[in-house]
Amino acid sequence: MHVVVLGAGLAGLATAYELSRAGMAVTLIEKEDYAGGMATSWKKGPYWLDHGPHRFHSRDKQLIEHLYEVLDNEVVTRERMSRIYMQGKFFHYPLKAQNVLANMPKGLLFKAGWDYLTIRVRQWFKKIPDDNFENWVLKRFGRTLYEIFFGTYTSKAWKMPCTEISADWASQRISQANLWDTVKKTLMPPRDGEVRSLVSEFWYPAHGGIGQIGRKYAEKIERMGGVVHLEAPLERIELEGNLAKRVIYRKNGREHVLECDEIVNTIPLSRALEAFQPGISPDVHAAIANLRYSAIVFVYVEVDKPSVSPDHWVYLPEKHLTIHRISEFKNFSDDAAPGDKTVVCCEITCRVGDEHWNLDLEQGAKIAIRDLETLGLVEPGTARGLDLAKLRYAYPVYDLTYKENLEVLKRAAKRVSNFQTTGRQGLYRYNNMDHSIAMGRRIAKTILKGADARADEVAAGQEYFG
Ligand SMILES: Cc1cc2nc3c(=O)[nH]c(=O)nc-3n(C[C@H](O)[C@H](O)[C@H](O)COP(=O)(O)OP(=O)(O)OC[C@H]3O[C@@H](n4cnc5c(N)ncnc54)[C@H](O)[C@@H]3O)c2cc1C
């Protein structure tokens, strides 16, 4: 039996790793010249750079053991440190009572509390439906908090009004149940293990940035007899009836054919379906056209001082700043930068083709350094652009119709009985690294045991993803 895995992100790598470990013939094809997908890292001068902050966190002991195994125990643990910049000040995130009381204008605190009470009372008479992101947040946090943080940050990061974003996103990405829950947790932090969401400890490779996970996976897969083809984009998937028979990819300017018994897809599902021969029907093409992605431009700024902030990352909801989040890799691993300098990664969300997507390093650095100076984190003349990276499929856009469109794609995929689709891109699901790895391992189990290991259930619920 020969399994072809499409895409060498963490989902594809985890699948191929478990299959090769069990002695199955596996070939993995990847369009880029590296393994790791979005969770990659690269060396620029003395620095290791990631695509923004990538912290591995999970409550699944077995998955954490698996991470140690893949990384040959070369792992560091860190206490998460992250803040939000609002109203000219930095607030700890998750919120800390003393910090909020000391820094937030008292009038605003009172207004937030009053808004919350008003909306709770109004709800006794008329329920607000959970029909979009704005309503989900309003009914749980009131208008003031919606406006100063949730709404402002989300519409800035997603580049669309919150009324057009599905409530699914709120339930997966907002940790507290409501304002009262936040206040309770702020005043009486839950003991270890009780925290719903804001798992404070995380794991990170000791060397080589987050991309070390992908590199180690690829190395081990090949050592176990699996084949990893890099710079090998998918061209076609040839179907006969309801079976996929061959995968055709391009490498070194020519086509190569792989006979296959099973395909595991982890590239964007739309791109895989478009590769089907015979081709997909017009309704599937129409659904594909309606599923959108948010892209990110990452601007890496080198700064002439040992540290810019103690944070792993800082959220920047306010609209006068173009960047929406910064991160400092040195705080993830000592290996990321030399002692006397540091790098700040500044993220700008955009749509492919818009003015931000088209930024080059010089233009991106100008914006990023201006914002860092506004924040008071760097002094004029001490920072410069180091590198720039772009991710086209960074975030699936959960708009109000994404579920129906996605169902059309999933149905088209299901018609091919030896084609399985998983991972963040394969499922169009806003999940984390641990989820993609867990999905890949479950798919492998399904293939090996011939019984459904329910990969589709990973990260499918309304639980908080962190
Ligand atoms: C800015 C940012 C920050 C994040 N922070 C965190 C975090 O702190 N913690 C966390 O757990 N997760 C985080 N994530 C999410 C995490 O990166 C993903 O969940 C995970 O990397 C997804 O892995 P995947 O294999 O499912 O998908 P991907 O990594 O997208 O892998 C898909 C692979 O398919 C390849 N491919 C695409 N098209 C083709 C083709 N035509 N032919 C061949 N190959 C192709 C791609 O090159 C890629 O390698 C973050 C994501 C982003 C964007």
**366 and 409: one domain?**
no
**26 and 153: one domain?**
no
Tens digit of each residue's pLDDT (9 = 90 or more) over 69-83: 999 999 999 999 999
**Residue whose token pair is 């890099």:** 230
Question: Distance (Å, rounded) from C-alpha 411 to C-alpha 288?
Answer: 12
Phi/psi of residue 289, nearest 5 degrees: -65, -25
53 lies in some domain: no
Ligand 1 atom 50, closest CA: 54
Q: Separation of 335 CA from ligand 1 center, angstroms?
A: 23
Position 205 scores a pLDDT of: 98
**407 and 279: one domain?**
yes
Position 198 scores a pLDDT of: 46
69 lies in some domain: no
Indicate the helix (H) or strand (E) that contains 90.
Answer: strand 89-92
**279 and 410: one domain?**
yes
Q: Separation of 9 CA from ligand 1 center, angstroms?
A: 6
* Domain assignment of residue 276, given as a range: 2-39+211-290+401-457
Position 230 scores a pLDDT of: 98
Position 466 scores a pLDDT of: 53
**275 and 321: one domain?**
no
Position 386 scores a pLDDT of: 98
71 lies in some domain: no
Tens digit of each residue's pLDDT (9 = 90 or more) over 365-382: 999 999 999 999 999 999
**283 and 405: one domain?**
yes
Closest atom of ligand 1 to CA, residue 57: 11
Task: Give the dihedral sign, CA 210/216/218/219.
Answer: positive
Closest atom of ligand 1 to CA, residue 433: 11
What pTM did the predictor assign? 0.93
CATH code for the domain in which residue 263 is found: 3.50.50.60
**192 and 226: one domain?**
no
**333 and 349: one domain?**
yes
Q: What is the distance, to the nearest Å, from the Cα of residue 43 to the centroid of all Cα atoms in its chain?
A: 21
Question: Distance (Å, rounded) from C-alpha 207 to C-alpha 204?
Answer: 9
354 lies in some domain: yes
Position 461 scores a pLDDT of: 66
Position 48 scores a pLDDT of: 98
Position 194 scores a pLDDT of: 44
Q: Separation of 171 CA from ligand 1 center, angstroms?
A: 21
Q: Separation of 39 CA from ligand 1 center, angstroms?
A: 6
Around Cβ 457, how many Cβ atoms within 10 Å? Answer: 12
Closest atom of ligand 1 to CA, residue 325: 1
Burial classification of residue 464, based on how many CB atoms lie within 10 Å of its CB (0-12 exposed, 13-18 middle, 19 or more buried) = middle
Confirm if 5 and 26 have CB atoms less than 8 A apart. yes
Position 451 scores a pLDDT of: 77
**302 and 283: one domain?**
no
**277 and 310: one domain?**
no
Q: Which of 163, 197, 231 is the last residue of a domain?
A: 197
Overall domain count for the chain? 3
162's tokens: 């919150």
CATH code for the domain in which residue 336 is found: 3.90.660.20
Position 77 scores a pLDDT of: 96
Position 199 scores a pLDDT of: 57
73 lies in some domain: no
55 lies in some domain: no
Residue 394: DSSP 8-state: E
59 lies in some domain: no
Closest atom of ligand 1 to CA, residue 275: 41
Question: Distance (Å, rounded) from C-alpha 364 to C-alpha 374?
Answer: 16
202 lies in some domain: no
**286 and 405: one domain?**
yes
**Which mutation among 433, 443, 458 tests ligand 1's pocket best, with the greatest number of atoms within 8 A of CB?**
433
pLDDT < 50 regions, the chain: 193-198
**392 and 407: one domain?**
no
